[in-house]
Chain A
Amino acid sequence: MSADALRIALVGNPNCGKTALFNLLTGGRQKVANYAGVTIERKEGRFLAPSGRLLQILDLPGAYSFDAVSPDEQITRDVLLGNYPGEAAPDLIVCVADATNLRLHLRFVLEVRRLGRPVVLALNMMDAARRRGIEIDVPELSRRLGLPVVETIAVKRGGAQALVERVDGELPVPAPAQADDAASRADLHAQVRELLAATVRMPRRTAELDDAFDRWALHPVFGLVILALVMFLVFQAVYSLGKPMTDLISDGFGWMGAHLAVWLPQGPLRGLLTDGIFTGLGTVLGFLPEILVLFLFILTLEESGYLPRAAFLLDRLMVSVGLTGRSFIPLLSSFACAIPGIMGTRSITDPRDRLATILVAPLMTCSARLPVYALLIGAFIPAHSVVGVFNLQGLVLFALYAAGILGAMAVGWVMKRIRRDQGEHALLMELPSYRLPKARDVGIGLYERGMIFLKRLTGVILALTVLMWALSTFPAPPLGATEPAIDYSFAGHLGHWLAHPFSPIGFNWQMSLALIPAFAARETAVAALATVYAVGGDAGQLAPALAAHVSLASALSLLVWFAYAPQCMSTLAVIKRETGTWRNVVVSFGYQFVMAYAASFLVYHAARTLA
């Protein structure tokens, strides 16, 4: 037994069941990070083979060909060639192919074989192949390929037994390396046909189940109805499962902070603990339930094969505003919260389309804007009925949601025209067979998303929350102060100062001040306004106070500001984390600031003129 672990790379076409196989082999023992210098997920796991040897498995991104068209495929190619900085070439390549889709997948197997490295072919989904009546002469396929071939069923316990035994044995003798040029590349299809003719017998081309499902799921009318129903269900779940848990977490930390405070002397330390750290933790961890519920659905839809169908239905619409069909689900998630939305853009392999989606995602009206909208609408918009049926308050809320969507479309449209890369970016999207999602794969995916959020973001967001607390607490008010404490703090000074640039859009200094904590989390704007107007936090007291001090035009301006404003800092932290550069954070913040200011300016002056 050698001291070093055997390094195995898992490769294959997208949708070959490679990740399910990886999960089966490694269980929860996985390390998820990024490849050096890019934000593409690097998943590695290890397990002990029966011989006692340690096997280290790298799950490479799915690829159709070494003639790479996406950063994912480049990484797969470069790692296999041993050209990727910081990644050693694998000792053994396990090439995974879907046994029900060999025409497509065998071509990539042939490309991998030409590398001239030790390769084992894993024929995955053998159970599905048998069910469909596909017969594969495995010994003959192995003989013709000159590679060991094993059968696997990634969705069954023990389904990787044959593979484990094979990789635990002697390294297979590599096929002779071959040059990769256009002529030999064109020849690969002919070889695939020959192999299929000699080793595979199949009764029917596609699964009848897929045909039946797609007839409904992709129907021009029913397809859209089904999509709307699925989305409705997801949102119901986010609000009925995620939201109460979020509130519970926020309240729980508030309660814990308050009880801990009893043991501490009155002073800055107590304030830091209760108002800074515990409130901050409550806010940050409060995102978690919504993120997990959303990803539960996204992962389930992805595993089942429905997600690309949704992208198919809406691609044309999204393209017209500079996005892609695959942008739809991340943008929809952003209506709950932009953080899972932006994290969800990883399913978009094209970097340009992915960045465009990330940049417009914060314009979707997230759930944190609702308390602010509810307060301002309640205080300023009368509950008149319009044309007998509509409620004016409801109409204003609808208009704010519409403003977000229209704004995103406008930004996408403008980006499409000004970006440097005007080339044609392909859709070329495979619609995989429908599958029943496996609890293990969804569970591992959820755990990974949750950990990414907790490990990489909590620190940043918590630090910023504490900073916001410090700004609104220090310096303490002088003895005998008559105004609310926040008025004497840095935030108070900042609010007074901000009132100058914000006065053209109708904000007084109290409103300007409330923007500072709102940057940490939008919903805190309500609490901040309550503090500066020195009234209780509930809308019952705050709404009349606001109505007495703020004009209708200013209130409308503030509403529009919240529809477009560059917020919140958690979102900006995710943009940094998911795109790897501050430049995109600056672009996102900058364009939203300009957009919010311009829109508020227009609304404020229009309202003043009309009033």
Chain B
Amino acid sequence: MRLTDLPKGALAVVDRVDDAHADDAIAQRLRDLGFVDGEAVRVVACAPLGADPLLIQIGFTRFALRRAEAARVSVHPEAA
């Protein structure tokens, strides 16, 4: 599933970041920021309009990602 499909508060683990097109600098930046296989993520908050952007907790850091950016991140729910 995509990071955008994750309900607020749910924990998940990153599988990978997919390039939206060739030479996708945004996907590369997401990887540089730590969206790599095995990292735990959580949707902390959603902005008021159209739940865009999302606030994502990864490791010790919180990033605001627009939905188009978060949709590049493939995740699976963390086994409870």
Contacts and interface: CB of A to CB of B under 8 A. Distances in A.
Contacts of A431: 55, 62-64
Nearest to B48: A220
A212 interface: no
A104 B61 CA distance: 7
Interface in A280-323: 308, 311-317, 319
Interface string B26-59: 1011111110100000001111111011010101
Contacts of B36: 186, 189
Nearest to B54: A312
A65 B33 CA distance: 8
A224 B20 CA distance: 32
B1 interface: no
Interface stretch (A51-59, A422-430, A598-606): A422-430
A218 interface: yes
Contacts of B53: 312, 315-316, 325, 427
A317 B63 contact: no
A186 B44 CA distance: 27
B44 to A, nearest CB: 7
Contacts of A69: 25, 29
Interface string B7-33: 000000000000010000110111111
B25 to A, nearest CB: 6
B49 A428 contact: no
Given A220-B46, A312-B47, A317-B49, A428 B62 contact: no
Contact of B28 (A67, A102, A429, A430): A67
Contacts of B68: 424
A316 B34 contact: no
A101 B64 contact: no
Interface in A31-81: 64-65, 67, 69
B55 A312 contact: yes
A554 interface: no
A427 B59 contact: no
Given A67-B32, A104-B33, A428-B30, A315 B64 contact: yes
Interface in A370-413: none
A100 interface: yes
Contacts of B25: 69, 426
A107 interface: yes
B34 A430 contact: no
Nearest to A204: B60
B47 A315 contact: yes
Nearest to B38: A193
Contacts of A316: 47-50, 52-53
Contact of B65 (A311, A314, A427): A427
Given A103-B59, A206-B57, A311-B64, A428 B48 contact: no
Contacts of A189: 34, 36
Given A312-B53, A313-B47, A424-B68, A103 B33 contact: no
A419 interface: no
A76 B68 CA distance: 28
A550 B60 CA distance: 65
A186 to B, nearest CB: 7
B60 A424 contact: no
Given A218-B45, A312-B55, A316-B50, A428 B31 contact: no
A280 to B, nearest CB: 44
Contacts of A104: 33-34, 59-61
A214 interface: yes
Contacts of A445: none
Contact of A64 (B33, B45, B50, B52): B33
Nearest to B50: A316
A311 B53 CA distance: 10
A450 interface: no
A102 B31 contact: no
A428 B65 contact: yes
A549 interface: no
Given A315-B52, A428-B69, A101 B32 contact: no
Nearest to A182: B28
Residue from the set B20, B52, B53, B61 with the largest chain A CB neighbour count within 10 Å:
B61
Nearest to A66: B32
B66 interface: yes
Nearest to B21: A424
Residue from the set B28, B46, B48 with the largest chain A CB neighbour count within 10 Å:
B48
B4 to A, nearest CB: 14
Interface in A73-119: 100-104, 107
Given A316-B47, A316-B52, A430 B63 contact: yes
A109 to B, nearest CB: 13
Contacts of A101: 59-61
A315 B60 CA distance: 23
A205 interface: yes
30 contacts: A65-B29, A67-B28, A67-B32, A69-B25, A69-B29, A100-B60, A104-B33, A107-B34, A205-B57, A205-B59, A220-B46, A220-B47, A312-B45, A312-B53, A312-B55, A314-B47, A315-B52, A315-B66, A316-B49, A426-B29, A426-B69, A427-B53, A427-B65, A428-B29, A428-B33, A428-B65, A429-B63, A430-B64, A431-B55, A431-B64
Interface of B: 20, 25-26, 28-34, 36, 44-50, 52-53, 55, 57, 59-66, 68-69
Interface of A: 64-65, 67, 69, 100-104, 107, 185-186, 189, 205-206, 210, 214, 218-221, 223-224, 308, 311-317, 319, 325, 424, 426-431
Given A69-B25, A218-B47, 16 more contacts: A67-B29, A101-B61, A104-B34, A104-B59, A205-B59, A214-B45, A220-B48, A223-B48, A313-B48, A315-B53, A319-B66, A424-B20, A426-B25, A427-B65, A428-B69, A430-B62
